[in-house]
């Protein structure tokens, strides 16, 4: 209903100027316009929208709020366009103006959506729009992906999907940890225990690498000789020694294959551009910070001290961009990345917005480097840099998620488990209902439901809070879960199979019951929800919307006959089914979740 609420807003603004010209003039002088404070109503019985401005104006006008509202309403009723759009406004409570869209306009909206593949969601002008970088997932080479990466991957992918659907060019960037001191250790260890792995592909898998990495770390902490060799190895790598580079490439390739398996299962597409990509830009970061006068050498390290952020002992906190041994660190890389992403092509991405989807523990780090980048004037005017933080994944005991033996949970095991549980649920139900289905059907449904459940459980929660992981809850057949939404979709598919294709070219849709009108109104809210998520980057708002849509649909399905209704009612109801189906499908797609015809 974006277009309806936008025109309502215009009518209200016009009415405000007419009713209170002096206030409008004063606002204009200050470079503002009066905001009518138009919002969706808090309860359906108040209509579709409410304008709250009268309550605000009452004070400066020294008039009772209800008479302010009355003056606005009188102007509205002199406006023919408004009268065509809306039922007579009602003044309620202390001075709210309640507005109800005329049903004929709602029906028109439904009609236009039945013919619109975008379901009424506007698209930005791609030609004029600069790319948005979504930096997400970002596992480390030679380590297993864990549940933290899962959250980043699922949330980042959904945000990217929503921005893409809105028409923005999106760069999905996998900022993998593919550089740094850990490679010195790892290569040194492999040289001594598995030299073949450094020269021949496919000799070791990621599981082995993780073991070698753990061993290397232990030796690094205990053996001075090992430490020294590792440091030399890092230097060799950074100088571009061909043998070291070759070994490094093999390690990356091995990890990459393993990551790709997870991404394929999750249907996530992402472009790898790891930390190593920025190696050649690091030196310039330090030089330019020095030239701009921000750089301070402290205890041998080159730092930028942050304004207004103190650490221990009350001193300002530094961002270290070059260590006392001359090496660069992650802050340098992140700064180089910010520059590159904002720089115009071909020397950069020419982005207008950077979105980092990482755990909330990195909030301080991002605050720091964003401040440095801004002070160094590397962030263009009107550009945005945003950290999109998310909370920890906890087990049902409220502690950080671990396996029973206390190990980190591997992603592939977690996905396997979800699918396995979905499968046994399905088999039990088939058994109870006496249904028989092909193995292929069972596998497909279990996989889709299992993956959907994992994704939806993560996305449906406000990301900033910690997230309590529970297979039982995410796979529950009722409540705000993926299976519930998928089932609503399946019900519609069932109706369509029974010969329920509506004629959407007819002019005579008519909706009678309150269940139909609730569904109509909910369907028309999609555009508002999508544009809100685009701005706030909170996919859980989309989940809430889809859950409410499913609830309203299930109520309608339960209480209103569709296939058995008379012709005109039947066609109208089938049209609502079709639009609900399309809306659910699109919404779920934007969450990275695919739908099923039967389950």
Partner RNA sequence: GGGGCUGUAGCUCAGCCGGAUAGAGCGACGGUUUCCUAAACCGUAGGUCGUGGGUUCGAGUCCCGCCAGCCCCGCCA
Q: Which is nearer to RNA, 410 or 525 (CB)?
A: 525
- 483 near RNA (CB under 7 A): yes
Q: Does 560 sit near RNA (CB under 7 A)? A: yes
**Does the protein bind RNA through residue 473 (CB under 7 A)?**
yes
Task: Provide the residue count of the chain.
Answer: 599
Residue 122 lies near RNA (rule: CB under 7 A): no
Is 327 a residue that touches RNA (CB under 7 A)?
yes
Asked whether position 143 contacts RNA by CB under 7 A, the answer is: no
Radius of gyration of the chain (CA): 29
d(C-alpha 470, C-alpha 223), whole Å: 42
Instruction: Tell the smallest beta-carbon distance from residue 195 to RNA (Å).
Output: 25
Asked whether the beta carbons of 593 and 456 are under 8 A apart, the reply is: yes
- How buried is 45 (Cβ within 10 angstroms: 0-12 exposed, 13-18 middle, 19+ buried)? exposed
Beta bridge partners of 355: 134, 386
And the tokens for 212?
Answer: 């070698």
Q: Which of 484, 524, 582, 587 binds RNA (CB under 7 A)?
A: 484
Q: 87: number of CA atoms within 13 Å, CB side?
A: 16
Number of residues near RNA (by CB under 7 A) = 107
Q: Please report, as residue ranges, which positions from 197 to 256 form the binding site for RNA (by CB under 7 A).
A: none
Q: Is 180 in the site for RNA (CB under 7 A)?
A: yes
**Interactions with RNA, residue window 293-312 (CB under 7 A):** 298-301, 303, 309-312
Q: How many C-beta atoms surround the C-beta of residue 242 within 10 A?
A: 8
Residue 518 CB, shortest distance to RNA, in Å, is 10
Query: How many CA atoms lie within 13 Å of 579's alpha carbon, on the beta-carbon side?
Result: 30
Residues 446, 438: Cα–Cα separation, whole Å: 12
Q: 11 is written with which tokens?
A: 């009518």
From residue 66 to residue 105, the character string flagging contacts with RNA as x (rule: CB under 7 A) and all else as - is: --------------------------xxx-x-x-------
Q: Kindly tell me which residue out of 466, 501, 514, 568 binds RNA, with binding defined by CB under 7 A.
A: 466
- How far apart (Å, rounded) are the C-alpha atoms in residues 284 and 273? 19
Among 280, 564, 566, 567, contact with RNA (rule: CB under 7 A)? 564
Does 592 participate in binding RNA (rule CB under 7 A)?
no
Cβ closer to RNA: 120 or 148?
Answer: 148
Q: Which residue has the tokens 């399946």?
A: 490
Tokens at residue 374, please? 């801004």
Comparing CB distances to RNA, the nearer of 509 and 556 is 556
Binding mask 350-369 for RNA (x = CB under 7 A): ----------xxxxxx----
Binding-site member from 468, 517, 521, 594 for RNA (CB under 7 A): 468
Q: Which is nearer to RNA, 35 or 194 (CB)?
A: 35
- Shortest gap between Cβ of 580 and RNA (angstroms)? 13
Q: Which of residues 384-423 bind RNA (CB under 7 A)?
A: 391-392, 398, 400
Identified binder of RNA from the candidate list 137, 152, 182, 255, rule CB under 7 A: 182
Q: Which of residues 167 and 391 has its CB atom nearest to RNA in the complex?
A: 391
Nearest to 456 by CA among 426, 489, 502: 489
Instruction: Determine contact, residues 363/388, Cβ cutoff 8 Å.
Output: no
Q: Of the candidates 126, 261, 384, 598, which one interacts with RNA according to CB under 7 A?
A: 598
Copy the structure tokens of residue 159: 């945000």
- Residue that the structure tokens 């609900």 belong to: 580
Binding segment (CB under 7 A) for RNA, from list 225-233, 376-384, 408-416, 464-472: 464-472
Write out the two tokens for 275.
Answer: 């930390």
Per the listing, tokens 């030089």 go with 287
Q: Which residue has the tokens 């660190």?
A: 329
Q: Nearest approach, Cβ of 174 to RNA (angstroms)?
A: 13
What's the token pair of residue 344?
């115009």
Of 37-56, binders to RNA (CB under 7 A) are 37-43, 46, 50, 52, 55-56
Query: Least distance (Å) from RNA to the CB of residue 399?
Result: 8
**DSSP three-state, residue 55:** helix
Q: Check binding of 156 to RNA (CB under 7 A).
A: no
Do residues 492 and 580 make contact, with C-beta atoms less than 8 angstroms apart?
A: yes
Among positions 515-544, residues that touch RNA (CB under 7 A) are 532, 536, 538, 540-541, 544
Residue with smaller CB distance to RNA, 46 or 165: 46
- 291 vs 465 by CB, closer to RNA: 465
Token output for 120: 């009424």
Residue 427 CB neighbours (<10 A): 13
């Amino acid at each position: 209903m974006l277009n309806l609420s936008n025109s309502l807003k215009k009518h209200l603004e016009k009415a405000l100027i007419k009713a209170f010209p002096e206030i409008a003039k004063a606002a204009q002088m200050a470079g503002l316009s009066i905001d009518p404070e138009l919002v969706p109503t808090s309860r359906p019985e108040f209509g579709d929208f409410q304008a709250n401005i009268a309550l605000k104006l009452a004070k400066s006008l020294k008039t009772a709020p209800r008479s302010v509202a009355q003056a606005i309403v009188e102007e509205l009723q002199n406006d023919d366009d408004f009268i065509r759009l809306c039922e007579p406004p009602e003044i309620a409570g202390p001075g709210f103006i309640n507005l109800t869209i005329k049903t004929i306009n709602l029906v028109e909206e439904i009609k236009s959506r039945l013919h619109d593949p975008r379901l009424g969601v506007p698209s930005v002008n791609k030609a004029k729009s600069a790319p948005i970088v979504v930096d997400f997932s970002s596992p480390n080479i030679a380590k297993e992906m864990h549940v933290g990466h899962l959250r980043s991957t699922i949330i980042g992918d959904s945000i990217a999907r929503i921005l893409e659907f809105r028409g923005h060019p999106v760069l999905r960037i996998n900022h993998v940890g593919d550089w740094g001191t850990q490679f010195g250790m790892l290569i040194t260890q492999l040289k001594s225990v598995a030299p073949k792995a450094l020269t021949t592909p496919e000799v070791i898998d990621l599981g082995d690498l993780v073991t070698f990495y753990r061993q290397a770390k232990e030796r690094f902490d205990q053996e001075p000789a090992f430490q020294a060799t590792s440091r030399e190895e890092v230097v060799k790598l950074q100088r571009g020694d061909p043998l070291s580079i070759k070994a490094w490439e093999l390690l990356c390739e091995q990890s990459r294959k393993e990551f790709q398996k997870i991404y394929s299962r999750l249907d996530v597409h992402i472009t790898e551009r790891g930390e190593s990509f920025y190696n050649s830009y690091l030196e310039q970061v330090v030089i330019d910070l020095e030239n701009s006068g921000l750089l301070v050498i402290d205890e041998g390290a080159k730092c930028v001290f942050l304004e207004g952020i103190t650490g221990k002992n009350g001193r300002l906190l530094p961002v270290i961009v070059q260590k006392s041994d001359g090496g660069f660190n992650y802050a340098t890389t992140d700064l180089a990345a910010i520059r590159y992403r904002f720089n115009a092509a071909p020397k950069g991405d020419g982005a207008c917005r950077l979105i980092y989807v990482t755990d909330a523990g990195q909030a301080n780090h991002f605050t720091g480097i964003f401040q440095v980048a801004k002070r160094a004037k590397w962030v263009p005017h009107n550009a945005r840099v945003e950290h999109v933080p998310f909370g920890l994944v906890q087990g049902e005991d409220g502690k950080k998620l671990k396996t029973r033996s206390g190990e980190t949970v591997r992603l592939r095991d977690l996905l396997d488990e979800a699918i396995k549980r979905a499968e046994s649920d399905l088999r039990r139900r088939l058994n109870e209902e006496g249904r028989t289905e092909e193995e292929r059907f069972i596998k497909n449904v279990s996989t889709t439901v299992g993956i959907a459940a994992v994704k939806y459980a993560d996305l449906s929660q406000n990301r900033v809070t910690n997230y309590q992981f529970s297979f039982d809850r995410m796979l529950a057949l009722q409540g705000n879960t993926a299976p519930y939404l998928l089932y609503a979709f399946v019900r519609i598919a069932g109706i369509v199979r029974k010969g329920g294709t509506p004629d959407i070219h007819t002019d005579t849709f008519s909706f009678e019951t309150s269940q139909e009108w609730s569904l109509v109104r909910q369907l028309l809210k999609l555009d508002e929800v999508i544009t809100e998520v685009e701005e706030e980057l909170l996919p859980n708002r989309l989940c809430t919307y889809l859950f409410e849509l499913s609830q309203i649909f299930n109520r309608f399905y339960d209480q209103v006959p569709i296939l058995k209704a008379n012709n005109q009612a039947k066609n109208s109801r089938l049209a609502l089914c079709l639009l609900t189906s399309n809306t659910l499908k699109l919404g779920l797609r934007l969450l990275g979740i695919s739908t099923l015809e039967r389950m």
